[in-house]
Amino acid sequence: MDAFAEAIREGARAGITPLRPLAIAESRVAPDIVVMEVVTADGIIVCLRHGLDAGEEAATLFLGGALGGLSGPAHGLYHKVARRLGGVRVHYRKPGHLEDCLFDVLLVHHLLTRRGIERVALVGHSFGGAVAVGAGVLLGPATAGVVALSTQVPGTEGVDRLVAPILLVHGDSDGVLPDLCSRNVYERATSARSRDLVVLPGEGHLLDGQAAAGLDDQIVTFLQTALAEVPD
């Protein structure tokens, strides 16, 4: 039983109305990009799926901030990385609501398992960094790696149980969430197979300055290594 099915089962025991996909609508908008709408009784999860048509066993999920979104920071970072590695960019049903966003990620992973994809890496920015960490803990051995960009601290309470590698990136001039946030998460990620913290001088919350040039290359390298690693 995967994490989504287990969460639904536990929720049903507690009397919580389960989140179930009612329909999945897909439309190809580019040779390698498919819009995937996951329709539930409690809203629609809108995704952009890059590739994943060739029997892949692992993929990357890209998660937006408190307002959602599909592009990510650093001038469309999510598109740049997904174009190179494939993956799914996720816009939540209820951006800013942590529990709902976690369920969205678990549901998308659940649907990807039907395509043969068992392991996922998670990339999140700001609020999405906490979603990535929280989902990474809930998915357990199905988590290949976590990248948290300019992350907040609330929602990362379970990071000490994260086993997968984690990369944290923050600007030291972030006027929204200080780099102390990523330092805090890094210090508590004691169970991760590896943990790295990169603090970029002069960068703000969106990591869109000169010091962040090449950030996509750094993330691609991390993800390639994490996705290729065979879990014990």
pLDDT value at residue 33: 96
Q: What is the pLDDT of residues 29-81, one digit of tens each?
A: 999 999 999 999 999 999 999 998 878 899 999 999 999 999 999 999 999 99
For residue 4, the model assigns a pLDDT of 81
Per-residue pLDDT band for 8 (boundaries 50, 70, 90) equals low
CA distances 1 to 83, 102, 110, 167, Å, are: 31, 17, 10, 28
Q: In the chain, what are the domains?
A: 3-228 (3.40.50.1820)
Residues of the chain with pLDDT > 90, as a percent, come to 86
Q: Give CA separation, 102 vs 7, 10, 20, in Å.
A: 10, 15, 14
Query: For residue 7, is pLDDT > 90?
Result: no
Residue with tokens 């149980």: 161
Q: Tell me how far apart the alpha carbons of residues 94 and 167 are, in angstroms, rounded to a whole number.
A: 26
| Residue 57 exposed, middle or buried by CB count within 10 Å (0-12, 13-18, 19+) | exposed
Q: What is the dihedral of CA 81, 84, 88, 94, to 10 degrees?
A: 20
pLDDT at 229: 85
List of E strands, 51-194: 58-63, 87-91, 119-125, 143-149, 166-171
Q: Within the chain, what is the greatest distance between any pair of CA atoms? A: 51
pLDDT band, residue 3 (cuts 50/70/90):
confident
- Residue pLDDT, tens place only, 189-230: 999 999 999 999 999 999 999 999 999 999 999 999 999 987
The model's confidence at residue 9, banded by pLDDT at 50, 70 and 90, is low
pTM, 2 dp: 0.94
pLDDT band at 13 (very low <50, low <70, confident <90, very high): low
Closest CA to 133 of 182, 87, 173: 182
CA distance 224 to 205: 25
pLDDT the model gives residue 52: 86
Average pLDDT, the chain: 94
Give the integer Cα–Cα distance in Å for 102 and 85: 23
HSE-CB of 55 using CA atoms within 13 angstroms: 0
Under 8 Å between Cβ of 90 and 61: yes
| pLDDT at residue 197, rounded to an integer | 98
Average pLDDT score over residue span 134-145: 97
